[in-house]
Amino acid sequence: MSVTQKTVVVIEDEPEAAELFSEMMRVSGFRVVKLSSSTPAIQTILNEKPDVVILDVMMPDVSGLEVLRYMRREPSLQNIPVVIVSAKGMPADIRTAMDAGASLYLTKPVGFLELKQGVEQALQGARGA
């Protein structure tokens, strides 16, 4: 099988959640780049040009929404699908993230199938764009 492995960048400051999401994606066949801080996120995304990004909103340094907004302004990154995974589940939080350009919004806790299907859905949406 000569299918190129897709890359996902996981940006999550909680170590257990970051490892869990990363492992879920590895099991699903992705190459995973894991970051525990949003500060290096933009440079990593620019370097990696991943197929999809899994992004937490509440980060200790730069908000995940700021990372998302930057990606949507940057021509080389604006078509990369971003799946937000956040503990913030209020309709206003979800609307804010979707308005900022998120492909999909999942609230924690997230199960394996929910995350896998969400990432696949985001990738299909990106291919159609």
In tens, the pLDDT along 94-108 reads 999 999 999 999 999
Mean pLDDT across the chain: 93
Domain count for the chain:
1
Range of the domain at 96: 7-121
Confidence (pLDDT) at 2: 43
Q: What is the per-residue DSSP string for 2-35?
A: -PPPPEEEEE-SSHHHHHHHHHHHHHTT-EEEEE
**Residue at 74 is within a domain:** yes
The reported pTM is 0.93
At 86, list the tokens.
């956040």
Query: ∠ at Cα 37 (33, 41), nearest 5°?
Result: 55
Beta-carbon neighbour count of residue 125 at 10 Å? 12
**Residue at 1 is within a domain:** no
pLDDT at 128 > cutoff 90: no
Here the CATH number for the domain that contains residue 41 is: 3.40.50.2300
**Residue of 11, 110, 109 lying closest to 59 (CA atoms):** 11
Structure confidence at residue 48 as a pLDDT band (50, 70, 90): very high
**Residue at 126 is within a domain:** no
**Residue at 62 is within a domain:** yes
